Amino acid sequence: MNEASSKQLLDKLIGFATVSRDSNLEMIAFIRNYLEELGVQCELFYNPEHTKANLFATIGPNVAGGVVLSGHTDVVPVDGQAWTMEPFRMTERDGRLYGRGAADMKGFIASVLAAVPMFLKRSLKQPVHLAFSYDEEVGCLGVRSMLAELEKRTHRPRVCLIGEPTALKPVLGHKGKLAMRCHVKGAPCHSAYAPYGVNAIQYAARLIGRLEEIGEELAQPERHDARFDPPFSTVQTGVIKGGRALNIVPAECEFDFEVRALPDFNAEEVSDQLHTYAQAELLPKMRAVQRDTDIRLQPLSAYPGLATAPDSEAARLLALLSNSSEFGTVAFGTEGGLFERAGIPTVVCGPGSMDQGHKPDEFITVEQLMECDAMMVRVADYLSNSD
């Protein structure tokens, strides 16, 4: 294995425009063909429409234990971003490899795939599992079907390494996320008679105000966890729609909000508090004017946080693989909490930086890719020497 092989594979992977709204099947087919030509059998787990798939493969003995190397195949859109080069064609300049997904997280997948011939040549005592998912960027949705199947199996992996971009620094934790949509149904009328209607926008504003109050409560110092930045659970409203004309009391308004929750905080407490406020304070006033008004909360997506103990076996392995025990956390989410729920202890460490992720001219350095290749050698050493 060498730097050129992982770089060549990254060039191929970036060429697949696997934006979450589109299919990832061309990229999955490429990976499957690559692995099967090397003699590695693959399993695919499709979405209901058969337009996307997860891929799972195992190299080494069919025994319990081993390491899962996990990455997501989907990327965020490039729409509206000021790229100075083609986003879905890798460009190399000054030691950097540019392209959508270079850092988040096709660089890691390329390094893993480049290591497969090495894994096959080594006498592994424990297996290495490859797990590549879809729809991570829209709520960690795709990996769930693959994990549901893994939970049924007798042989459980010992640890999962998710290669999200951390500049190869070892990470043991991140926040969870809950995304919700609130629908407010008011009662329209001519704005000259506004008191006789129910203004959906104004009631939505009161709900948003209550969310801000909840966020302030969560930010109190006694609820801080200094491992995270910011050190508390956060609430924010990101999208709002409502109204048709200024001279019509608006009948409809909806807004989307999210909770970024510390691992020990149940994000649903926020939506529960908002529901209680709507039922007890707002709906009686609305329905005193018009009986069929309503406030409805709709879940959009959710994934749990991750908090792996620094004295755990998974943490010790991460220190070995990353050559560092200076564990940290990240602000962004991963599929790690879902692997944990499936009974697979999980850590996060991968090449590149999220400082470049989701931005125009996204890149990973050649140096980081080479360092990830070296980490794959340490993975092979560990699996060859441990029982």
Tell me the catalytic residues: 74, 136
Task: Establish whether the linkage from the previous residue to 85 is cis, with ω within 30° of 0.
Answer: no
| 97 phi and psi angles, rounded to 5 deg | -110, 110
* Nearest CA-CA partner of 73 in 114, 120, 113: 113
What one-letter code names the amino acid at 163?
A: G
CA 15 to chain centre: 21
CA 17 to chain centre: 18
> Alpha-carbon distance 266 to 244, whole Å?
37
Tokens read off for 258? 């999210």
Q: How far is CA 225 from CA 100, 159, 174, 266, in A?
A: 33, 25, 11, 15
Tokens read off for 353? 């930086």
> Alpha-carbon distance 54 to 42, whole Å?
10
Per the CB < 8 A criterion, the answer to whether 347 and 340 are in contact is no
Per the CB < 8 A criterion, the answer to whether 158 and 308 are in contact is no
Element (H, E) at 381: helix 366-385
Burial class (CB in 10 A: 0-12, 13-18, 19+), 372: buried
* Nearest CA-CA partner of 182 in 155, 162, 164, 200: 200
Tokens read off for 180? 């919700």
Q: For residue 337, how many C-alpha atoms fall within 13 Å in the half-sphere facing its CB?
A: 22
Per the CB < 8 A criterion, the answer to whether 256 and 237 are in contact is yes
Per the CB < 8 A criterion, the answer to whether 52 and 43 are in contact is no
DSSP class of 105: I
> Alpha-carbon distance 132 to 117, whole Å?
18
